[in-house]
Amino acid sequence: VGLLIIGAGFINKFPQLMDYKLLGIGMVFFIMGVAVQKFGLS
């Protein structure tokens, strides 16, 4: 949940800085966060 809030805040605060590379990095962190929540890794 925390990663989602940070990611959403980053995207909402800095839309002008988002390019495909940063978007890709954000998606990687998003997928990692989903995997952590899904598999219960802490």
CB 11 within 8 A of CB 27: no
Looking at residue 21, its pLDDT comes to: 74
Res 35: pLDDT? 83
Quick: pLDDT tens for 1-42. Answer: 667 777 777 666 665 555 667 778 878 888 888 888 888 765
Residue type, 37: Q
DSSP symbols for the chain: -HHHHHHHHHHHH-GGG--HHHHHHHHHHHHHHHHHHHHT--
Q: What is the pLDDT of residue 38?
A: 83
